[in-house]
């Protein structure tokens, strides 16, 4: 099963315009995540809006049949991007998607917003 990192590319911090950014914070974070995920087996995709604007920058970590997580409140940084990819790698290795806290990269601690159970296999 493939683990996906879905990055909201429309996320902007409140001071985005004042900083004169050419790209949204989400676009900038997506580029860093994509570069760090290259060659890891973790897939990435961008979507326009995860509806977590108060928690900007937002990402979702998902795989079929596993727990899914939404993380947010990230600054655009190499450390955040690497932590997200490292957590997604642990998620991929987990049978259920649950990763023991002791294995969480420091960069994702305090950034979890929601956890979603996997969809049932049958109705």
CA 71 to chain centre: 6
**Domain 4-116 is of which CATH architecture?**
3-Layer(aba) Sandwich (3.40)
Q: What is the pLDDT of residue 40?
A: 96
Determine the average pLDDT of the residues in 4-10. Answer: 96
> Is 90 exceeded by the pLDDT of residue 54?
no
Pick the more confident residue, 105 or 122.
Answer: 105
Three-state SS sequence of 18-72: CCCCCCCHHHHHHHHHHHHHCCCCCEEEEECCCCCHHHCCCEEEECCCCCEEEEC
> Where in the chain are the domains?
4-116
pTM over 0.75: yes
């Amino acid at each position: 099963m493939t683990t996906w990192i879905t990055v909201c590319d429309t996320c902007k911090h409140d001071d985005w315009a004042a900083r004169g950014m050419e790209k949204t914070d989400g676009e900038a974070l997506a580029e860093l995540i994509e570069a760090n995920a290259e060659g890891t087996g973790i897939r990435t995709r961008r979507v326009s809006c995860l509806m977590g604007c108060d928690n900007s920058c937002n990402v979702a970590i998902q795989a079929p049949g596993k727990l899914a997580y939404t993380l947010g409140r990230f600054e655009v940084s190499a450390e955040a991007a690497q932590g997200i990819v490292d957590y997604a790698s642990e998620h991929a290795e987990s049978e259920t998607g649950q990763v023991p806290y002791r294995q969480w990269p420091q960069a994702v601690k305090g950034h979890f917003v929601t956890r979603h159970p996997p969809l049932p296999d049958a109705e």
